[in-house]
Structure formats: C-alpha cells, structure tokens
Chain A
Amino acid sequence: MQRIDVLTELSQLVTEEDLFISSLGALRNDWWNLRPGGQDNTFFLSGMGTVAPMALGLALGLPHRRIVALDTDGSVLMNASGLATLADQLPPNLTVIVFDNSIYESIGGVPTLTSRRTDLAKMADGAGCINCVTANETVDFAREAHRLLVDDEFGFLVAKIQPGIHSWAPEKQKLTDGVEDKYRFIRHVEALEGIRIHHGAPGPFA
C-alpha cells in the first residue's frame, strides 16, 4: 500500500468535526486534497519531531473533540522522547497515525532506521502507549484505523507504506505558508468551538 491509498481510506473514516496535525513531506499535498470538506481543519507542521507533542496539547485542550495526528517515521525517530510524554497522558480523543515508508523520501530515498531493526509500534508500546498496532495492508489499515478512531481510547497506528509520491496538478498543491496555516486553523477552531483564540488588538487583558 502507498501513502495515497492509506490517506484515501482515512479520509472516509474521519469527519468535518475532527481536527488534524500533519507532518511535512509528500503527506502535505496528499492530505491538503483529502482532508474532510477541504476545510482548514489541519495544522500542517514544518518540522519533524513536534507532531506528537502538538497533537497532545491540542487533544488535552479540546478533550471533547477527536484529534488525529499524521506523523512519519523520520519525525517519530527524531524525537522518540515524545512517545513517553504521550504515554504519560494518553488522551482518549487522540489517535496517532504514523506513515512509515522506512525512507526519507522527500530528500531522495535514504533509508531511515525503521528499514532495519527499529519497530515504531513496539517503541510506542514500550514507552507506555496503549493500542499500538502496525498495518501492512490497506484493508488492515482501514480496519484498525476505524477501531482506534471510534474506541474512545488513545491509539497509535503505524502504517507500513511502500515508497511513492502521488503527483498532484499545480492547482492542487498546497501553497500556504506556516503563518497563514496558523491563522486559518485558528479561525476554523474558533468557528467550530464557538470560542475566540486570537483577538488581534486589543488583547484579552485590555
């Protein structure tokens, strides 16, 4: 299975009520086109190693809302301590999905350490996370993703994907930068939750 297959399955399992934190790389354009309703429900991160902590903060702050983290093998490996931080909280509204292609695909396909002996689901399990599973086939991914999304428990699903970058037409590619992404996401959450996050001026203490 390839990333686009997995994300297509995932897009059928989630709703416009959910919020997403996404890692970088080819995942960005795929999820930009597949996110529910094409809405600003996804915060697209620019760096590796911060998806899990950021999704944790979002999930703890909005415990009534389903949060889905879309992470990668390179990102999890870069900040493995984040697994222990997640495990200490285990927010039931958070599901982490890791796309593990065992290579740094965006830079030309250099193998990551999951291509050898490292098993991300076992790492998460050893850190104390619960519901840590690996899916190797699309049908397995769809079944496990559905189970973890509806079980009202924390979940950590590793999708072992084959290399391959889906080609999107220029008009389908994500053009926004990190700052625009932030404001779009904030305004989306404000509308979804009926709250005000960023006041502009004057501030909340004025």
Chain B
Amino acid sequence: MHDLAMGAVGSKADADGTKTYADLVVEGLKEHDVEIVTALPESLLIDVYRKVAADPAFIYVQAASEQDLPGVVAGAYLAGKRSVMFMENSGLREACEPIARLIFGHRMPMVMVMPHRGDLGEYNWWGHGHSLTMEPLLKALGIPHWPVRKLEEIKPSIKRALIHADAGQTAVALIFGGDCVEVPHYAKD
C-alpha cells in the first residue's frame, strides 16, 4: 500500500505538533457519540478512512458507491445511532438521487463530510470539475454547508453539524480544505 494520497506530501499537525486533521476528526466523532461511519474513500482525507477502519470504536461501512451512503446514515439514525458519511465532493453528484428521495422525502438528518477537491491550486485537470459542481449542487439542493479549513475548527464543526442536522432534521455538509486535508505537493510550503 502506498503511504501518501495521490499527489500529497502528508498532513499538517496541530499547535502541539502531535495531532493531524485525521486525529482530530476521529476525536471529534468519538466525543460526539458517532458510532457508525460510512464512506467511499478518496485521497484527500485518506488518513481518516485508515484510522476509522482500524478503530474498534466505530462500525465502518465502506460503500461501493456514494449512492449507498445516505441510506446507511438514515438507517443508522433510525436505530438511534449517530452516523457520519465521508466522500469526495464528486460523490455529491452520485448521491443526489438518494439525497432528494430519501433525505428530503423523509426529512432525515444527515451529516456529510467532503474534501474540497478542486480548491485553489488544484493541479489535477479532472479535479476542477469537482469544485465547479460542488457548491452549485449544494445550493440547488438547499443543503447548508460550511468550510472547515483550520485544524482547530474540526472538532467544533463536527459537533455543530450533528446538532444542526438533528435539530433541523436536515442534511448538513462540511467542506474540508486548507490545513484539514492531505497537503497536495503543489501546496507544500
């Protein structure tokens, strides 16, 4: 297995120099009772998938398509379990149908986390379309979404997203970028 994500050179650590974005995501999920994590792995949050899959505190459901993710989250919610889905922002395009029919049709709470593939400086030609379609789609779907770009924002954002989704019985998206994703080689300082 390769150690680094596609085009990445690693990830930044927090002020103490000990915790990366992935450590903080895992901590945030645990501190707010998330038990089921479902994802279609991608490169920018690669360490999240590795850590969650290896941690017995979570049930980790790796999906074959982003179409499966809203269903898993909704089913877990009906079981009384907190759940969060992770995917590349391109997965939003794949997940539109279950989001519209299941999540909107039944007003199901759902927290989704996606990295901002196509962010400023994207060097993969295929990644630009991911960014171009992400925000217009989120707006068209009417899904509240917030950027998470600093390490200290990760845990509070996870907490607030869970509250927001539950109280509003709505979908919520967190868009990870900046220091909160693997550092692409072009962005290495």
Could you tell me which A residues sit within 8 Å of B by CB distance? 21, 43, 45-47, 49-62, 79, 81-82, 84-85, 88-89, 178-179, 181-182, 185-186, 189-190, 193, 195-199, 201, 203-205
Q: Is A197 touching B67 in the complex (CB atoms < 8 A)?
A: no
Q: Is B98 touching A189 in the complex (CB atoms < 8 A)?
A: no
Q: Is A79 touching B68 in the complex (CB atoms < 8 A)?
A: yes
Complex Cα–Cα for A81 and B69 (A): 11
- Taking A50-B101, A54-B74, A58-B78 as known contacts, 18 extra A-B pairs with beta carbons closer than 8 A to each other, sorted by chain A number, are A46-B101, A46-B105, A47-B100, A51-B71, A54-B71, A54-B72, A54-B78, A57-B38, A57-B74, A57-B75, A60-B72, A60-B79, A62-B80, A81-B68, A88-B62, A182-B108, A203-B166, A205-B163
Specify which of B78, B105, B163 is in contact with A47 (CB 8 Å cutoff).
Answer: B105
Quick check: is B36 within 8 A (CB to CB) of the other chain?
A: yes
Size class of the B contact interface (CB-based, 8 Å): 35 or more
CB-CB nearest in chain A for B69: A53
- Rounded to whole Å, the gap between the CB of A204 and the closest CB of chain B is 7
CB-CB nearest in chain A for B79: A61
Complex Cα–Cα for A60 and B77 (A): 11
- Rounded to whole Å, the gap between the CB of B114 and the closest CB of chain A is 18
Q: Is A61 touching B167 in the complex (CB atoms < 8 A)?
A: no
Take A43-B78, A179-B106, A203-B163 as given contacts and tell me if A61 and B64 are in contact as well, using a CB distance cutoff of 8 Å.
Answer: no
- Rounded to whole Å, the gap between the CB of A51 and the closest CB of chain B is 8
